[in-house]
Structure formats: structure tokens, C-alpha cells
Structure 1
Amino acid sequence: MKAIALTSFGIPEVLKELELPIPSLTDTQVLIEMRASSINPADYLFRSGAILQSPMAHKFQDQLQLPMVLGNEVAGIVQEVGRKVTQFKPGDRVMGMIQRGSYMDYVAVEEDHLAVIPESLSFEEAGAAPTVALTAWQALFEHGHLQPGQRILIQAGAGGVGHVAVQLAKQHGAYVIATARDYNHDFVRGLGADEVIDYTKADFTTQITDPVDIVLDTAKDASTFGTGLPGEIGEKNFSVIKDGGTYISVVAFGINQYPKVRNIYAHFFQAQPNRTDFESIAHHMKDNKLKIHVNETFAFTVQGLLQAYRKSEELPKRGKIVISKNLSL
């Protein structure tokens, strides 16, 4: 089968097409013919080799072997199931997550990391959804314990996780403030944000008149990547949270050890795939309560992935960039 992999770390041109065997299944896995996947910020960290400079590099040593197939989201059609799999059968349309390696014709995924998708949902939208939707879902409801009527600040409201979080928070009855560049303001307001602040033109701390109950920080900060601790944006986030509020970060991986500030609960997490949450997300998408914005779609080819990575590094950014097998046929 075809796979597109890194043969060295660096610029997108290091991607090469390889011929690999179809994955063998364990008893609890499902074999999926991949129809769509997408690009996430973590893919850039691995592809460029920046992860090697991170304080967390030691945690990924067993994942840094070359050649490396990137991608951790998949949407497609079930081809085969393991002996103990009970929830899926060949022919099912599904979406799900793996640790890494979805840029391949066939992908083996744990049964509990999948959900059936409705016929009304395209593979492209489903392939863009798993990581960002699961991260936003768990950030708001499992870790943030968001309640109707609460005020929440969502950093990078037009991004992958951010644009999902804006929709979910507003539907849950929260008052939503989001940051975004000026050209994304109409987009973010259309998702449901009550206020949108251009963080490049104004200090958001001066624009927020009343403290918020929760901050969800999805904005990349160079100083945070170097230390894992809240950088300039993080320090400002603390300043707008009420005493005893909540600060959820998907970027500041050292925040759990950060000294407590005004009894604010500060927590970093990475999404943990499970079928229950994926099914809830799929239902929201089926009922048009959640829309994953596909910024642009590229073919499942070396050239297509190269173009997709180049696009992911450009402005403006909005939603997700998708890799589709349909375009490579």
C-alpha cells in the first residue's frame, strides 16, 4: 500500500512516497481504508524536527524513528475487524484517531478510538474533526466543567480547536469571548462568539471588562514551547481569570506544576480518544450543531502533502487543512 513518510526531519520536501505492507490487526483493532485525514500543529513539530529541541523530547524517543508516517486523524471505510471487535463491521463509515500514521492507504485503529459517521457527513469533514473536536470537547466539559452562564475566553478562536470550542461553548449557554486576527472576526462571530478581540492590535487584558470563569488557551507561544510554562500570553490569561477560576491549556505542558495563582485551577491536557466522546461529537455534527470548517483540501500525494504543509504555515489560518484521497484518484 502507499504511504507518505518523512525520510528526514526538515522542510516539507523531505516527504517521500513509500510502499509498505498493510497493517496487521490485533484482536481489538479495526482496519480502515483511509479516505481523508488532516494536518495538526503537532505534525509540524515532528516534521520539522522541532520536537527534538523540546523539553518533552524524551517522551517521544520511541516515536522518532525514520521513516515516519505522520497524521493522527482518519476517516474512511472499515475493511476488516479484529476478533474481539463488536461495534464495527466491514463497510461502516467511521472516523477516529491514532497516535501517528494516518497518511497511508490503510490504517489500523483501536475499536474504542472510533465512531460511525452519518451518511450526510463527508469524509473530508470527518477527517478534519477527531483531534480538534475531541480536544475542545474534553477541554470544555471534562476539564473545564463549563456551566451555562459562565464567561469563557477562547484564545485563537479561528483555529482548529478554537473554532470548535467557540461553537460548543456558545451552544452550552456560555458567554464567549474569543481572540482572532481582524480578517477572522466575522468568521468567529458567525460561530457564536459574543465578543472578538484582535490580539495583534490590542492587549486583550484591556478589552475584557469583567473577569472570566475559564480561559481555554490554544494559541502557540514561542516562549511556552521552550519551557512548557505560561509565556507572555499565559501570564495575561491569568490576569483576566476570576479568583478560583479555571485555566485550561493545550500548549503550556508545564502549567500543572506552575505555582498556584489566586486559587486558579491551571491544567494542561492532551485529548484521550474514546468512543463515547466521538459518538457525541458525531451526533452534534449530524444535527448541524457542530461544523468543522475545512479551510482547504489537498490530494493524498507527495505533492499534495507538501502543498498542504506549506499552506498550514501561511496566514490567514482558519479551521483545518484536509488531505483527501478523493482528490488523488
Structure 2
Amino acid sequence: MMKAVVIENYGGSEVFAEKECDIPHIRDTQVLVEMRATTVSSADQLIRSGTFRQFMPTQFPHVLGVDIAGIVVATGKKVTRVQTGERVLAVSRTGGGYAEYVAVEECDLAVIPQSLSDAEAASLSASGMTAWLSLFHYGKLQPGQRILIHAGAGGVGHLAIQLAKQHGAYVITTAQAHNHPFVLQLGADEVIDYTTTDFAETLSPVDVVLDMVRDPDVDKVTGIGLTELKNYNILKDNGTFISLVNPAIAKHPLIRGIDAQFALITPGAGDWEAFIQWIQTNKLDIHVDHVFPFTGQGVAEAHEYYDTRNKRGKLVIQRDSIHR
């Protein structure tokens, strides 16, 4: 048996509870990972709150946690890329990170560079891969292009700024005033305070938009919100609009040739290899805002903090560990 922190319904931080659960059985293509650190991601929040209930229906009790850093304790018969005892970072597409053990497909993990701590590796797994695939797979970002990255101080945003800047793009981001020095240090060329300024009224056209802002109110027919409409307005003809929060964007009628996509993060072995090589070649500032204990109360407090939107970088949930 193992300890897990589950949600028993949709709602706020009050829906978490500690449970004793069976340790997952792994298939031939899977790896059993002993979790050392996980995070609060936007996917966890969207599922927990019920915002994604139509897109990702959930059976309760459910274990959240898409970011994982841990140690391989067992491998399936067809697994060849990792061995027991290795430290890995992983993306669990179905959750499961808020537990002592999680089964992960081999294609969804990579060996952790020794320079990274468990907290940094967990912060980098889903968020880093999300930023990577959003920019280079979905966005096909090119050097010299202008990109608007919303929520630049967030878990995905603060990594996307660095990746885009290192790739040679001109980076514009949105952030609250107290986060302006942070995002400028990461490499942003321009920053807009979204609490006082309408980005759609101040920006000249951009080639790419990466959107992580979920509109609280959307059109009942189209499913599109005000922020998304403004994104269209500031994009050049034939530009690229990548949303991490609204699947409806991909079904919206074509506007001025803009390629609007909802980014489904499904990395393959080649993506992990390229991403890890980039990390080892280019220094990334992986910012951990706060570390919470792996308890029911700790997980609830982490989600409560996430909901305030006052975080910078990632919120980590970590088990007591002798490992880095």
C-alpha cells in the first residue's frame, strides 16, 4: 500500500484527502517511479476545479499530479531507456503524481541531469516540456519573430520566456508590476502590466501568441473568451495562436489565416532527448516559488496558494528525501 492525496469531488482546496491506495501495477511499456517531488500545475488546477470536466471527465477519487521527479523502482519488460535506481523526471498524462508511487509510460520520462535537484526537476518536467512543445512544435517559432507570452512569471511562462529568447525571438510578456524585474531578468524584451494596461491596445502586431490565461466567461456558442479575441486582434495575418487552456480554440472558424491550436502535450523520446540536451547546453533559471510538504494539508495549501495567482515560477510538493 502507499499514501496518496486524492480529490473526492470538484472544487477548491477543501476537496483533498489522504488515502491509502494500492501501489500501481505497471504494464510492459511502463516504469514505476517512487515520487520525490511533484507540483501544482495549471492542468491540476483546471481538473480539480471542474473547469475541464467536459474535456477531461474525472472519476473520483482521483490522484492529480502531472509533474514528477523521482527514482525508478521497477521497469516493464519492454523498457530500454532507463534502469532501476536512476533519477527521472516525467509527465504523467493521467495524473498520479500526488502519491508515493506512480506508473509512467517510458516515452513520458527522461533521466534527470545531475545538476538539477528534485524540486527543480519536478518544476521542469511538464512545464518545461509544455513550453518547449508549445514554442517549437506547435508555434514553430523562428529567430527574429515577435512572440507574446501571457503570464510570464508563471510556471510555464518563466521557462517559455527563456527558451524563446535563447532561440532568438523578440519576447513580450504580461505580468503584474511586482514581477516586472523578474521577467526582464529572464530575457523579456517588453513587459505589460495586465492589471492596468490592455495589451491589445498597446501592442504592435506579433507573429505568435502563447496563451495560458483562462477567461472566466466565454461565449456559450463558440467557447471563446475576451482575452482570446484580443489575442486574435494583435496577431499578424497567418500568425500562430497557441492556447494551453482552451480546447475550443482549435474549433473556432479561421480568422485572417491565423493558425489557432490547443497544445496537447504528448512528448516522445526524441522530444525528451532534444529538451534535455537544450537544458544541458543552455542555462535555464528554474524558479521554485515555494515548497510544500507531501501531506493532505500541504497539498491543499499549495493549491490554495496557486489560486491566489501571486506565485512566481513553480509551487513544489516534496517528500522528505536524502536525495538532491
Kindly state the Cα deviation for residue 49 of structure 1 after the two structures are TM-superposed.
3.3
What pairs up with 1:313-328 in 2 under 5 angstroms? Answer: 313-326=307-320
| 1:79 aligns with one of 68, 73, 77 | 73
Residue 102 (structure 1) shift: 1.0
Alignment of 1:111-260 (within 5 A): 111-208=106-203, 210-224=204-218, 229-260=223-254
- The answer to whether the 8 A contact 2:36-2:321 is kept is no
Which one has a larger percent helix, Structure 1 or Structure 2?
A: 1
Question: Partner letter of residue 10 of structure 2?
Answer: F
Match of 2:291 among 287, 290, 297: 297
State the SS of the aligned residue for 1:222: coil
Separation of aligned partners in 2, 1:327 and 1:201:
43
Offset at 1:233?
1.1
In 1, the alpha carbon distance for the partners of 2:221 and 2:181 equals 34
User: Unaligned regions of 5+ residues in structure 1, if any?
Assistant: none
Q: How many equivalent residue pairs?
A: 321
Aligned residue number for residue 60 of structure 1: 56
Distance in 2 between residues matched to 1:237 and 1:212, nearest whole Å: 9
Q: CA–CA distance in 2 between the matches of 1:316 and 1:327?
A: 28
Tell me if structure 1 keeps the 8 A contact 2:43–2:66. Answer: no
User: Given that residues 12 and 304 in structure 2 are in contact (C-alpha distance below 8 angstroms), is that contact kept between their aligned partners in structure 1?
Assistant: no
User: Does the aligned pair in 2 maintain the 1:225–1:252 contact within 8 Å?
Assistant: no
Query: Following the alignment from structure 1 to structure 2, what is the Cα–Cα distance between the partners of residues 70 and 257?
Result: 27
Q: Which residue of 2 aligns with 1:26?
A: 27
Task: Give the Å deviation of 1:140.
Answer: 0.9
- Whether the 8 Å contact between 1:228 and 1:251 is mirrored in structure 2 is no
Query: Are the equivalent residues in 2 in contact too, given 1:2–1:17 (CA < 8 A)?
Result: yes
Per-residue deviation, residues 107-160 of structure 1 (Å, max 9, x unmatched): 111111110011110011111122211111111111111111111111111112
SS at match of 1:326: coil
Separation in 2, partners of 1:204, 1:89: 48
Question: What does the per-residue CA deviation read over 1:46-96, in whole Å, with 9 as the maximum and x for residues that have no partner?
Answer: 3233444xxxx1x433xx222111111111111111111111111111001
8 Å Cα contact 2:222-2:252 kept in structure 1: no
Change beyond 3 A, Cα 1:206–1:36: same
Displacement of 1:228 = 6.4
Provide the alpha-carbon RMSD of the alignment: 2.0
Local SS of the residue matching 1:131: helix
> Is the CA contact 1:136–1:161 (under 8 Å) kept in the aligned structure 2?
yes
1:271 to partner: Cα distance: 0.8
CA displacement, residues 223-263 of structure 1 (integer Å, 9 cap, x when unaligned):
24966643111111111111121111112311222222221
Contact kept in structure 1, 2:41 and 2:67, CA below 8 Å? no
Secondary structure at the counterpart of residue 38 of structure 2:
strand
Given candidates 261, 270, 278, the residue that maps to 1:267 is 261
Measured in 2, the distance between the counterparts of 1:163 and 1:212 equals 19
